[in-house]
Amino acid sequence: MESRMEHFEAVVIGGGAAGASVAYELSCFGPVVLVEREAGLGYHSTGRSAAVISENYGPLGWQTLVTASRPFFEAPPPGFASNPLLHRIGALYFGTREQEASLRNDEAELKRRGVSCRLLPATEAARLSPTVRTNGFTLALHEPECADIDADALVQGYVRAGKARGLRTLMSTEAVTLERRTAVWHVRTSGVEFTASRVVNAAGSWADEVAARAGIRPKGLQPYRRTAITFEAPEGSDVRSWPMTFDVAETWYFKPEAGHVMVSPVDKTACPACDAAPDEYDVALAIDRIENATIMKVRRIVSRWAGLRTFAADEQPVIGPDPDEASFHWLAGQGGNGVMGAPGAAQLAAALAMGESLPGFVGAYGMDIGRVLPSRNFVAKAAKQQAAV
């Protein structure tokens, strides 16, 4: 006779922003266990993110979840964090004449969701971001409420608040096997075994691998490497007053970072799930792009790193029950939006996992849930589009 194992309402695989936030949301429904392979939380993508909240960044599905997340960032539960989670810096998106229509559409969508923004001539926007070379740019979108996020405080706050509800965390522990039998999931980790009513796959770049272990068909999630460096700010510059600055084509962005300047070439190099490291070519690309786009010179690199950004084929979120097994839930495909969209995405994922009413923001923003569910045929659709090119 099989011995009785500890049972949980849910097991969450992954201890980044996604896993920590959904574990917290689920912990009010019953006992939850979070399983993280690394020794620390947020080691991979979360800990290497630019960690800002910009409601104009990414595909529309994520933009909506980011707007839905702002109330949590601005007013987390009492005792969640000792300091504010946000530090406002603002953002500017510079576009060429050919990109003006796109910027006007962005402005209209942001205003529809109640996001503060305005369009500025590029020359006027350059007064806010004074190092940008405006030749070639004609228009910019200013998003004044863009803010830095304290990503570590966010993750730690979620886990601490979850533990107060009974959340269990298993660090340096890997979910080796996940098997559905006798109407529950039997989970064997590198340390313990237990059962759970449902699995929530928040494993980031490893999400398809976790699914395969559970006998669930992968969703074609692809990790990509993204590089960033920080360098010394121009002498005499008060970088603290600079907004985060992008070009609409997404070939670079930069922002103030602890008295220095952080820049990324927004590289997107397909790679397997791994502990990403910066490539010298991508570092050189970051330097070349920032020196061409601005009057800044990179005289000394202060730090360099790389992180993984994982996308579904249509680049939309993958949230909700698997179409082949309703007790296996996805919270994946963040594509670089995972930290800023964590609160909203977790609220949606938890509601879908527990069969609860959808969060109010779904109706308020007219969010099409069908565009984020794992049941959508995004892999076949993307392959068909690619074949037609």
Secondary structure class of 243 (helix, strand, coil): coil
The count of structural domains within the chain is 2
- The CA distance from 375 to 203, in Å, is 19
Q: What is the pLDDT of residue 377?
A: 81
- pLDDT digit string (tens) for 168-187? 999 999 999 999 999 999 99
Please indicate, yes or no, whether residues 40 and 166 belong to a single structural domain of this protein.
yes
Residue 74 included in any domain: no
Please indicate, yes or no, whether residues 229 and 262 belong to a single structural domain of this protein.
yes
Please indicate, yes or no, whether residues 235 and 264 belong to a single structural domain of this protein.
yes
Residue 99: CATH number of its domain: 3.30.9.10
Please indicate, yes or no, whether residues 137 and 119 belong to a single structural domain of this protein.
yes
The Cβ of residue 126 has, within 10 Å, a number of other Cβ atoms equal to 20
- The CA distance from 114 to 255, in Å, is 24
pTM above 0.85, yes or no: yes
Please indicate, yes or no, whether residues 117 and 171 belong to a single structural domain of this protein.
no
Q: Give yes or no for a contact between 41 and 12, defined as CB atoms under 8 angstroms apart.
A: no
Picking from 311, 304, 229, the residue whose alpha carbon sits closest to that of residue 270 is 311
The yes-or-no verdict on residue 1 having pLDDT over 50 is: no
- pLDDT digit string (tens) for 27-47? 999 999 999 999 999 999 999
| DSSP H or E stretch at residue 184 | strand 184-189
The yes-or-no verdict on residue 66 having pLDDT over 90 is: yes
- The CA distance from 343 to 68, in Å, is 8
Q: Give yes or no for a contact between 153 and 85, defined as CB atoms under 8 angstroms apart.
A: yes
**With bands split at pLDDT 50, 70 and 90, how would you rate the model's confidence at 379?**
low
Residue 62 included in any domain: no
Picking from 62, 42, 113, the residue whose alpha carbon sits closest to that of residue 318 is 62
Q: Tokens for 339, please give them.
A: 């930290």
- pLDDT digit string (tens) for 289-309? 999 999 999 999 999 999 999
| DSSP H or E stretch at residue 148 | strand 147-149
Mean pLDDT over 138-160 rounds to: 98
Angle, CA 147 vertex, CA 317 and CA 262 arms, to 5°:
90
Structural domain span for residue 191: 7-51+151-220+314-371
Picking from 168, 156, 133, 177, the residue whose alpha carbon sits closest to that of residue 290 is 133
Q: Give yes or no for a contact between 359 and 369, defined as CB atoms under 8 angstroms apart.
A: no
- pLDDT digit string (tens) for 332-376? 999 999 999 999 999 999 999 999 999 999 999 999 999 999 999
Residue 18: CATH number of its domain: 3.50.50.60
Picking from 294, 260, 261, 262, the residue whose alpha carbon sits closest to that of residue 278 is 262
Q: Give yes or no for a contact between 67 and 365, defined as CB atoms under 8 angstroms apart.
A: yes
Please indicate, yes or no, whether residues 133 and 248 belong to a single structural domain of this protein.
yes
Q: What is the pLDDT of residue 385?
A: 39
What percent of the chain shows pLDDT beyond 70?
96
The yes-or-no verdict on residue 383 having pLDDT over 90 is: no
| Identity at 336, one-letter amino acid code | G
